[in-house]
Amino acid sequence: MALTRREALSQVAQVAAMASLPRDAWAFRAGDPLDGTIAEYQAGRRSGEWTATEVTARALERCRTDGAKWRAIDALAITAMDEARAADVRLHAGTSRGPLDGVPVFAKSIYDVAGLPTTGSSAEWAQLFPERVNRDALEVTRLRAAGAVVLGKTAADDFAYRGNGTSSHTGQVLNPHDPLGARTPGGSSAGSAVAVATGMAFAALGTDDGGSNRIPAQFAGVVGMKPTFGLVPRTGVIPTWPYLDTHGPLARSVADAALLLAAISGADLSDPLAKSDGWDPAPLAALANGLLRGVRLGIVEPHAPRTQMTAEALAMWDRALGDLRAAGATVEPFEAAVTRVNYRDQFAASARERNDVAVNANSPAPTANALLRYFAGRTSDPRAMIRRGYAVYQKFYDVLPATFEACEPLLDQPMGDDSAGRSFARSRAGVVAALAASMRAAGVTAMVYPTMPFNAPRAVDPWPDVRTPLGFGNWLGLPEVSVPAGRGTDGLPSLNVSFVTLPGDDGRALALAHAYETQSRRFVKP
Domain residue ranges in the chain:
5-20+51-292+446-520, 364-417
Report the alpha-carbon distance of residue 456 to residue 219 in Å, rounded. 5
* 340 vs 335: CA distance, rounded Å: 12
Which secondary structure element, helix H or strand E, spans residue 263, and what is its range?
Answer: helix 254-264
Active site (annotated) includes residue 395:
no
Residue of 10, 121, 167, 188 marked active site: 188
Distance (Å, whole) CA 43 – CA 94 = 14
Please pick, among 109, 167, 212, 363, the residue that the annotation labels catalytic: 212
Measure the CA dihedral 427/432/434/440, to 10°. -170
- 359 C-beta neighbours (distance < 10 Å), count: 24
CA–CA separation, 170 vs 479, rounded Å? 31
- The bridge status of strand 104-108 relative to strand 203-208 is parallel
Say whether 162 sits in a helix, a strand or coil: coil
Q: How far apart are CA 147 and CA 83, in angstroms?
A: 8
Sign of CA dihedral 451, 454, 455, 460: negative
From the candidates 10, 108, 109, 494, which is the catalytic residue?
A: 108
Contact 499, 483 (CB under 8 A): yes
Q: Please compute, for residue 114, the number of CA atoms within 13 A of its CA located in the half-sphere on the CB side.
A: 12
* Ordered per-residue pLDDT tens for the chain, 526 residues: 344 433 433 333 333 333 333 333 333 344 789 999 999 999 999 999 999 999 999 999 999 999 999 999 999 999 999 999 999 999 999 999 999 999 999 999 999 999 999 999 999 999 999 999 999 999 999 999 999 999 999 999 999 999 999 999 999 999 999 999 999 999 999 999 999 999 999 999 999 999 999 999 999 999 999 999 999 999 999 999 999 999 999 999 999 999 999 999 999 999 999 999 888 888 887 788 889 999 999 999 999 999 999 888 999 999 999 999 999 999 999 999 999 999 999 999 999 999 999 999 999 999 999 999 999 999 999 999 999 999 999 999 999 999 999 999 999 999 999 999 999 999 999 999 999 999 999 999 999 999 999 999 999 999 999 999 999 999 999 999 999 999 998 889 999 999 999 999 999 999 999 999 998 887 777 7
Query: How large is the C-alpha radius of gyration of the chain?
Result: 22
**Dist CA 226 CA 472 (whole Å):** 12
Query: What's the CA gap between 337 and 448, in Å, rounded?
Result: 15
Alpha-carbon distance 162 to 150, whole Å? 25
CA dist 289 → 22, 100, 254, 504, 508 (Å): 10, 21, 11, 21, 12
Q: Is 188 a catalytic residue?
A: yes
Give the model's pLDDT for residue 524: 76
For the entire predicted model, the pTM comes to 0.93
**What values do phi and psi take at 107, rounded to 5?**
-110, 170
Give the separation between CA 456 and CA 468, rounded to whole angstroms: 14
Phi/psi-derived region of residue 323, left when phi > 0, alpha when psi is between -120 and 50, beta in every other case: alpha
Helices (H), 443-505: 470-476
Torsion of CA 50, 52, 54, 55, to 10 degrees: 90
Q: What is the pLDDT of residue 511?
A: 96
- 121 annotated active-site: no
Q: What is the pLDDT of residue 165?
A: 98
How far, in Å, CA of 280 to CA of 266, rounded?
8
State the Cα–Cα distance between residues 308 and 450, nearest whole angstrom: 12
Q: What is the DSSP letter of 462?
A: P
Check residue 16 and give its pLDDT. Answer: 35
pLDDT of residue 2: 41
DSSP annotation of 202: S
Q: Which of 306, 303, 328 lies closest to 498, judged by CA?
A: 303
For every residue of 88-114, DSSP letters joined together read HHHHHHT---STTTT-EEEEETTB--T
CATH of the domain spanning 5-20+51-292+446-520 = 3.90.1300.10
Q: How far apart are CA 40 and CA 33, in angstroms?
A: 8
Contact 323, 515 (CB under 8 A): no
Three-state secondary structure call for residue 332: strand
pLDDT for 90 equals 98
Query: CA distances (Å), 173 to each of 157, 161, 264, 455, in order?
Result: 9, 15, 26, 16
